[in-house]
Chains A and B, each alone.
Chain A
Amino acid sequence: MKKNLLKIIISVLAIFIIGTFYVSLKKTEIYDTKNLVGTNLDNFELNSLNKNLKINQELVKKSQYTLINFWASWCAPCRAEHKYLINLKRNAKNLKLIGINFKDEKKNANKFLSEFGDPYHYSAADSEGKVSINFGVYGIPESILVNNDLKIIKKFIGPLNQEEYTSILSLTN
């Protein structure tokens, strides 16, 4: 009897672990950012980097288009895309930029922004990187272009380049 119980427990445990693996195998597709395009942004809330302000989906609704950019001061490719962000702020008319500072220290983040210029209309801090995961971010830099219905129009993995910059510009102007 005792031995049978042990058999059942071990077998159930094995099935449970395999089952979990199976389900998460099916789930990994949600990380595939192609599927995120066309879906709606989940509600989120982050503290502003410097101001006493909550940054959430309501801000996104206010402007026709929003580019949410994930960055950090320690991330070298983020420096490469920085000039495009600055130019977007300058040239794109119906676009607001939200920068989400990912797993970074406030001090370093501010130093980065004062050195290279601040391309963002709003800066949010996600020092633990937890909220960013919900956006499907798996490496920074990443950017998400959203309209005022909270619909994800485009997603950019890796630093923005000239081509992507012009496509954002033509889409939002």
Chain B
Amino acid sequence: MLSNTGITLVILTTLLSALIIYKSFTELHIENNFINKKIFNLVTFQTTFSILSFFVLIAGFVISDFSLINVYENSHTKKPFFYKVSGAWGSHEGSLLLWINILVIFSFLFLVFTKHNNKSYLLYTLIFQNFLILGFLIFLLINSNPFSKIYPIPIEGLGLNPILQDPALAIHPPLLYIGFVGSSIYFSAGIASLISNCRDKFFAKSIKPWVLISWSFQTLGITAGSIWAYYELGWGGFWFWDPVENASLMPWFVITALMHSVIVLEKRNSIYSWVIILCLLTFTISVTGTFLVRSGILNSVHTFANDPSRGLYILIFLSLMIFLALAAFFRYSKKEEYNFLLKSKETLILANNWFMFFFLTSVMIGTLYPIILEVLNDTKISVGPPFYSAVIFPFVIPFLIFMAIGPKINWIKNKYSRILSNFYILIASIFLNLLVYFIFGKYSIISNLIIISSIFLIIHSIKDFFIFFKKKNESDISRIVSHLGFGMLILFIGISHNFTVENDFNLKVGEEKKFSGYQINFNSVRMENEKNYKKIIGEFKLVNLKSNLEEILYPEIRIYDQPETLTYEASIKTKLSADTYLTMSNISRSDYYNIKFQNKPFMIWIWISAILIASGGFIRLIKIKMQ
């Protein structure tokens, strides 16, 4: 029943997409300034059907309708309600339907909210967006149908991979998808702008809100993924430079570059071609990332669902997109004059682009080079954290300094006072760095420089904050918030990276262990039954011998029935100053448990900083809305 409803809705959406493309083409030849009301109606219907189909899938999960293969494979009656709902996008098929929904919703919103009198620009955007929608719908129907039936109907489902049952991961795909897939709208708009000759300022104005929305959500999405890795994977890290993480980071670099370049295009009517390249690149790289993750080319801890036959379809689609973009760009781009001074604010905004492209290239090489090498030479290499630390970290230092000084370059007219104030801030940063040095202990020169430059950016941002409250017009609060967030992010990553206390040992109940300022007592273990798993809970007393603070930690070993899996839940005590992190794993045929302990300073501030970065984007969006 649900299966038929779902498939009908998807097919209706597909037909409507084709109809919208057809109608838009005919509408292009009618010479007036209004878009036919019919097209609006079609898009509204398309959006409604698409959203309904997604609700049907969610309903299937909520009522545990195991006549759907997708529900059978990814859900279970005993699963908590929240994870039943999130199970709807936990599988490849479901997440593809979510992907299509976002494509459709963005297309609808773009059409409704863009106040633009260039009719052909809007129509072309709609046409290209619907080609994308159509492509993914066909993929869904022929290869990854979430509404496929199974007969005889199973009584019970297989369950969702327990490692995916986590609140941060439940919201991770929707957030990330709004970011990734949201970028499709300015991919379409970019090509439309080339063809319809609607360029420069107007173009920049029309895509800016969408760039901000997708950037902010993508930032949050990556953060949620990282939080999940930290709490759930149980390794105590939050970023592993894993190929799949890199696949989400690469579009973020391009989007960030685009967000800065759009400002230049809007203010100066310059670098139009570059902005177009970035628009086209963002979505292309997002789809490339999806291809790499979903095809199974990359072997990674994150690939929970992959299948090479899907890869082929995405690859064909990706190639079509790339060549469409290249053809449109080569055919319609014009030579431009660059007319701004080297010392202007715009040049410094573009400095952001240089850094972003450097980071992008480094991460891209680290991710793609092993694949290329394997094809050409049949050798397998793995590129890990040391590569990224060596290549990226040193360049973070000038990047932070540019972020601090760049935005203000033409405001303070008096050169002398400018240099002097920068000098004071630098001195203050070095002093604070020394403080860090004395509190925590020794660390490398690069780390020193990174911490100094991040403090430099933080002080600059705080100073700007006060200037903003004095003279509201002269300064841009959204930029200050995001830059402050970034400075803090690097500072706290630096501190937690250098000063994490770590120890790994075996203990049995009743024993204690002393090491580098801590004492751990293993008090007891007990067993409890939960709705869909059993758990073994250990009770540990942790004493900080320096401050005499005592804490009780309860790490768990969870035994899931469906599918039968063991997961290790870390016990994490989060404080503003540090996280204490303890996992235990059982050792078979032994009373001993393997204990991993970590004390990670300022962990929570890493998430706060990342959220601060994203909120800068939302603030800018609210400002645009108010204007």
In the bound assembly, the distance between CA atoms of A18 and B590 in angstroms comes to 52
In chain A, residues 38-90, which have Cβ atoms closer than 8 Å to a Cβ of chain B?
Answer: 76-77, 79-80, 82-83
Chain A contacts of B338 at CB under 8 A? none
Task: Tell me whether A24 and B588 are in contact in the complex, defined as CB-CB below 8 angstroms, given that A18-B315, A76-B568, A138-B299 are known contacts.
Answer: no
Q: Let me know if B330 and A7 touch, CB within 8 A.
A: yes
Cβ of B438 < 8 Å from any Cβ of A?
no
Cβ of B312 < 8 Å from any Cβ of A?
yes
Cβ of B585 < 8 Å from any Cβ of A?
yes
Task: Tell me whether A76 and B297 are in contact in the complex, defined as CB-CB below 8 angstroms, given that A24-B374, A115-B590, A116-B590 are known contacts.
Answer: no
Q: Let me know if A17 and B368 touch, CB within 8 A.
A: yes
Q: Which of A14, A24, A80, A115 has the most chain B CB atoms closer than 10 A to its own CB? A: A24
Q: Let me know if A133 and B566 touch, CB within 8 A.
A: no
Cβ of B319 < 8 Å from any Cβ of A?
yes
In the bound assembly, the distance between CA atoms of A28 and B297 in angstroms comes to 6
Q: Which of A10, A20, A83, A134 has the most chain B CB atoms closer than 10 A to its own CB? A: A20
Q: Let me know if B586 and A134 touch, CB within 8 A.
A: no
Q: Let me know if B326 and A134 touch, CB within 8 A.
A: no
Q: Let me know if B371 and A24 touch, CB within 8 A.
A: yes
Cβ of A29 < 8 Å from any Cβ of B?
yes
In chain B, residues 326-385, which have Cβ atoms closer than 8 Å to a Cβ of chain A?
Answer: 326, 330, 368, 371-372, 374-376, 380, 382
Task: Tell me whether A21 and B587 are in contact in the complex, defined as CB-CB below 8 angstroms, given that A28-B297, A29-B308, A134-B380 are known contacts.
Answer: no
Query: Which residue on chain A has the smallest CB distance to residue B301?
Result: A139
Cβ of B291 < 8 Å from any Cβ of A?
yes
Query: Which residue on chain B has the smallest CB distance to residue A6?
Result: B330
Nearest CB in chain A: distance from B504 CB, A = 8
Q: Let me know if A83 and B588 touch, CB within 8 A.
A: yes
Q: Let me know if A20 and B371 touch, CB within 8 A.
A: yes
Nearest CB in chain B: distance from A127 CB, A = 13
> Looking at chain A, what size class is its interface with the partner chain?
20 to 34
In the bound assembly, the distance between CA atoms of A21 and B290 in angstroms comes to 13
Q: Let me know if A23 and B299 touch, CB within 8 A.
A: no
Q: Let me know if A28 and B315 touch, CB within 8 A.
A: no
In the bound assembly, the distance between CA atoms of A129 and B506 in angstroms comes to 25
Nearest CB in chain B: distance from A86 CB, A = 9
> Looking at chain B, what size class is its interface with the partner chain?
35 or more
Chain B contacts of A23 at CB under 8 A? 375
Q: Which of B312, B368, B588 has the most chain A CB atoms closer than 10 A to its own CB? A: B588
Cβ of A171 < 8 Å from any Cβ of B?
no
Q: Let me know if B297 and A79 touch, CB within 8 A.
A: no
Chain B contacts of A133 at CB under 8 A? 380, 382
Contact among A11, A18, A25, A134 with B297 in the assembled complex (CB-CB below 8 Å): A25
Q: Let me know if B323 and A129 touch, CB within 8 A.
A: no
Chain A contacts of B594 at CB under 8 A? 76
In the bound assembly, the distance between CA atoms of A77 and B594 in angstroms comes to 13
Q: Let me know if A116 and B299 touch, CB within 8 A.
A: no
Chain A contacts of B326 at CB under 8 A? 7, 10-11, 14
Cβ of B407 < 8 Å from any Cβ of A?
no
Cβ of B429 < 8 Å from any Cβ of A?
no
Contact among B371, B382, B566, B568 with A21 in the assembled complex (CB-CB below 8 Å): B371
Nearest CB in chain B: distance from A1 CB, A = 14
Contact among B291, B382, B504 with A129 in the assembled complex (CB-CB below 8 Å): B382
In the bound assembly, the distance between CA atoms of A115 and B585 in angstroms comes to 15
Chain A contacts of B371 at CB under 8 A? 20-21, 24
Cβ of A34 < 8 Å from any Cβ of B?
no
Q: Let me know if A18 and B588 touch, CB within 8 A.
A: no
Cβ of A130 < 8 Å from any Cβ of B?
yes
Chain A contacts of B312 at CB under 8 A? 22, 25
Cβ of B271 < 8 Å from any Cβ of A?
no
In the bound assembly, the distance between CA atoms of A77 and B566 in angstroms comes to 9
Query: Which residue on chain A has the smallest CB distance to residue B588?
Result: A79
Query: Which residue on chain A has the smallest CB distance to residue B296?
Result: A28
Chain A contacts of B375 at CB under 8 A? 20, 23-24, 27
Q: Which of A10, A28, A108, A133 has the most chain B CB atoms closer than 10 A to its own CB? A: A28
Cβ of A165 < 8 Å from any Cβ of B?
no
Q: Let me know if A130 and B322 touch, CB within 8 A.
A: no
In the bound assembly, the distance between CA atoms of A84 and B585 in angstroms comes to 19
Cβ of B494 < 8 Å from any Cβ of A?
no
Chain A contacts of B372 at CB under 8 A? 20
Q: Let me know if B588 and A82 touch, CB within 8 A.
A: yes
Q: Let me know if B297 and A115 touch, CB within 8 A.
A: no
Q: Which of B297, B312, B315, B382 has the most chain A CB atoms closer than 10 A to its own CB? A: B297
Task: Tell me whether A21 and B297 are in contact in the complex, defined as CB-CB below 8 angstroms, given that A10-B326, A28-B308, A116-B589 are known contacts.
Answer: yes
Instruction: Please encode chain B, from 281 to 317, with 1 for each CB lying within 8 Å of some chain A CB and 0 for all others.
Output: 0000000000100011101000000001001100100
Q: Let me know if B587 and A115 touch, CB within 8 A.
A: yes
Nearest CB in chain A: distance from B599 CB, A = 20
Chain B contacts of A25 at CB under 8 A? 295, 297, 308, 311-312, 315
In the bound assembly, the distance between CA atoms of A69 and B568 in angstroms comes to 24
In the bound assembly, the distance between CA atoms of A53 and B382 in angstroms comes to 27
Nearest CB in chain B: distance from A11 CB, A = 6
In chain B, residues 554-591, which have Cβ atoms closer than 8 Å to a Cβ of chain A?
Answer: 566, 568, 585-590
Task: Tell me whether A116 and B587 are in contact in the complex, defined as CB-CB below 8 angstroms, given that A18-B318, A31-B299 are known contacts.
Answer: yes
Q: Let me know if A27 and B374 touch, CB within 8 A.
A: yes
Chain B contacts of A31 at CB under 8 A? 296, 299
Q: Which of B311, B504, B566, B568 has the most chain A CB atoms closer than 10 A to its own CB? A: B311
Nearest CB in chain B: distance from A24 CB, A = 5
Task: Tell me whether A80 and B588 are in contact in the complex, defined as CB-CB below 8 angstroms, given that A14-B322, A24-B297 are known contacts.
Answer: yes
In the bound assembly, the distance between CA atoms of A26 and B375 in angstroms comes to 10
Nearest CB in chain A: distance from B274 CB, A = 14
In the bound assembly, the distance between CA atoms of A138 and B380 in angstroms comes to 13
Query: Which residue on chain A has the smallest CB distance to residue B587?
Result: A79
Nearest 10 Cβ contacts at the A-B interface: A76-B585, A23-B375, A25-B311, A79-B588, A18-B319, A28-B308, A133-B380, A24-B297, A20-B375, A20-B372
Extra 12 A-B pairs, beta carbons < 8 Å, given A21-B297, A28-B297, A108-B504:
A7-B330, A14-B326, A18-B319, A24-B374, A25-B297, A28-B295, A28-B296, A31-B299, A76-B566, A80-B588, A83-B588, A134-B380
Can you sample 28 A-B contacts with CB below 8 Å?
Answer: A10-B326, A11-B326, A14-B319, A14-B322, A14-B323, A17-B368, A18-B318, A18-B319, A20-B371, A20-B375, A21-B295, A21-B297, A21-B315, A25-B295, A25-B297, A25-B312, A28-B296, A28-B308, A31-B296, A31-B299, A76-B594, A80-B588, A115-B590, A115-B592, A130-B380, A130-B382, A133-B382, A134-B380
Interface residues of B (CB under 8 A from A): 291, 295-297, 299, 308, 311-312, 315, 318-319, 322-323, 326, 330, 368, 371-372, 374-376, 380, 382, 504, 506, 566, 568, 585-590, 592, 594
Interface residues of A (CB under 8 A from B): 7, 10-11, 14, 17-18, 20-29, 31, 76-77, 79-80, 82-83, 108, 115-116, 129-130, 133-134, 138
